C-alpha cells in the first residue's frame, strides 16, 4: 500500500470522478495527498503572519523556527510510524530523555568515551521501543495502555539514574554537542541538527513509500485483519515499527543535546502532545493507514510557525495554546471527512 492513491484504472472510475462536485474533488485530492492540507495551512499562515508583522518573514525568524522545530519534528517522525499502524506512543519524550541522560552521564561521570556513550544511548532508545512493541504484540495490549505505562517507567528510570541533575555542555565530550554546530546557508543561520533531521525525514519517507516494509505498515494500519489474510506478518511489522520508532527517539536525544547545550530531565516537557499534534495536523489519520512523513514535518512547522507568529503579534500565551487546540480539532474533523472517500 503506497502513500498516494493511484489514478482510476477503469473508464467507469474516470467517469465517476468527472461527475464529482468541486467539494467532492477536493475531498478526493486530500485523501490521495495527505500532505496537501497542511501545506496549504502553512502557506496561508505564513502569508497572514507576514502581513501582521513583516519580521515573521525575516531570515532570523525563519532560522529560529527551523531550529525550534527540529527536535519535535524528529520525534514526530517516530510517532508517525506508530500512528500509521493505528497505534499511539505516549512514551516518546521519556525514551528520548532517558537516552540523552544515559549518553551524558556515561561520558561525563563514568569515563565512557563519547562515541561509545552515544551508541549506547541510541541502542537503549531502540531497546525501549522494542520493549513497547513486545508488550503490544506478544501480550496483545492496547498501545495507549502500554505506552502510558512505559512513560512512567522510563521517566522514573531517568530520574533515578541521573538523580534529577543536569549535565552541562562543558562536562560532555564534543561529539555529543556536534548537532549544535552552527553555520550559515545564505541569510539563514542553522544548526547541523536541522539538516540531519531533514535527512532522517527523507530516509524514513523513502522507506515508507518505496519498500515492502512501508507498504506493510500502511496495510496494517488500514485494515489489520485484511493484512493478515494476504499473508502479512502483522506482529513482526508492529514490532519493527515500535523498534524503529525507539531508534529514532534515541537518535533524537543526540539532536536534543546539541540544541539545548545540556542534558536535563526536563528538556522536552510536553513532547508527547507536541508530536501527536504535529502528526495529526500533518494529515496522518489517527485511525491508521493514511498519512506520511512530509505531512508530519509540515505539521511541526505549522505548530512553531503559529507559536512564533502569534508571539510577534503580541497574542497572549493562553490564546496561543487555544489556537493550537483548535487546529487539532479541525485537523481531526477534516480527517473524518476525508475518510468518507473510502466509503
For residue 43, with 0-12 CB atoms within 10 Å meaning exposed, 13-18 middle and 19 or more buried, which class applies? exposed
Q: Are 105 and 311 in contact (CB under 8 A)?
A: no
What domains does the chain contain, in order, with CATH numbers?
A: 58-341 (1.10.3470)
Q: Reduced to 3 states, what is the DSSP secondary structure of residue 90?
A: coil
Rounded Cα distance, 209 and 3, in Å = 6
Joined grid coordinates for residue 88? 499511539
Q: Per-residue confidence of the chain (343 residues) as pLDDT tens digits?
A: 444 444 445 555 555 556 667 766 666 666 667 778 888 889 999 999 999 999 999 999 999 999 999 999 999 999 999 999 999 999 999 999 999 999 999 999 898 999 999 999 999 999 999 999 999 999 999 999 999 999 999 999 999 999 989 998 889 999 999 999 999 998 999 999 999 999 999 999 999 999 999 999 999 999 999 999 999 999 999 999 999 999 999 999 999 999 988 899 988 878 888 999 999 999 898 999 989 999 999 999 999 999 999 999 988 888 888 888 888 888 778 767 766 655 5
Q: Are 297 and 66 in contact (CB under 8 A)?
A: no
Q: Is the dihedral of CA 94, 99, 104, 110 positive or negative?
A: positive
The closest of 192, 58, 172, 47 to 121, measured between CA atoms, is 172
Joined grid coordinates for residue 127? 531497546
Amino acid at each position: 500500500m503506497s502513500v498516494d492513491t493511484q489514478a482510476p484504472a477503469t473508464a467507469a472510475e474516470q467517469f465517476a470522478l468527472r461527475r464529482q462536485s468541486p467539494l467532492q474533488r477536493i475531498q478526493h485530492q486530500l485523501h490521495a495527498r495527505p500532505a496537501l492540507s497542511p501545506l496549504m495551512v502553512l502557506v496561508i499562515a505564513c502569508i497572514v503572519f507576514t502581513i501582521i508583522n513583516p519580521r515573521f518573514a525575516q531570515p532570523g525568524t525563519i532560522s529560529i523556527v527551523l531550529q525550534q522545530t527540529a527536535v519535535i519534528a524528529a520525534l514526530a517522525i517516530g510517532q508517525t510510524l506508530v500512528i500509521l499502524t493505528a497505534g499511539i506512543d505516549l512514551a516518546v519524550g521519556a525514551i528520548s530523555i532517558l537516552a540523552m541522560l544515559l549518553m551524558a552521564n556515561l561520558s561525563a561521570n563514568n569515563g565512557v568515551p563519547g562515541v561509545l556513550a552515544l551508541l549506547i544511548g541510541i541502542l537503549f532508545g531502540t531497546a525501549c521501543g522494542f520493549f513497547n512493541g513486545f508488550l503490544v504484540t506478544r501480550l496483545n495490549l492496547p498501545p495507549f495502555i502500554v505506552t502510558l505505562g512505559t512513560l512512567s517507567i522510563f521517566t522514573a528510570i531517568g530520574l533515578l539514574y541521573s538523580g534529577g541533575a543536569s549535565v552541562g555542555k562543558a562536562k560532555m565530550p564534543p561529539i555529543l554537542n556536534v548537532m549544535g554546530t552552527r553555520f550559515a546557508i545564505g541569510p539563514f543561520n542553522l544548526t547541523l541538527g536541522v539538516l540531519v533531521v531533514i535527512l532522517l525525514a527523507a530516509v524514513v519517507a523513502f522507506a515508507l513509500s518505496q519498500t515492502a516494509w512501508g507498504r506493510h505498515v500502511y496495510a496494517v494500519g488500514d485494515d489489520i485483519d485484511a493484512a493478515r489474510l494476504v499473508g502479512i506478518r502483522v506482529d513482526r511489522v508492529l514490532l519493527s515499527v515500535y523498534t524503529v520508532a525507539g531508534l529514532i527517539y534515541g537518535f533524537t536525544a543526540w539532536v536534543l543535546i546539541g540544541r539545548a547545550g545540556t542534558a536535563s530531565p526536563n528538556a522536552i516537557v510536553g513532547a508527547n502532545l507536541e508530536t501527536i499534534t504535529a502528526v495529526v495536523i500533518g494529515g496522518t489519520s489517527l485511525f491508521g493507514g493514511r498519512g506520511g512523513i512530509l505531512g508530519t514535518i509540515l505539521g511541526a512547522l505549522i505548530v512553531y510557525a503559529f507559536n512564533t507568529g502569534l508571539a510577534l503579534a503580541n497574542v497572549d500565551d493562553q490564546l496561543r495554546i487555544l489556537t493550537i487546540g483548535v487546529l487539532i480539532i479541525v485537523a481531526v474533523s477534516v480527517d473524518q471527512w476525508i475518510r468518507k472517500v473510502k466509503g
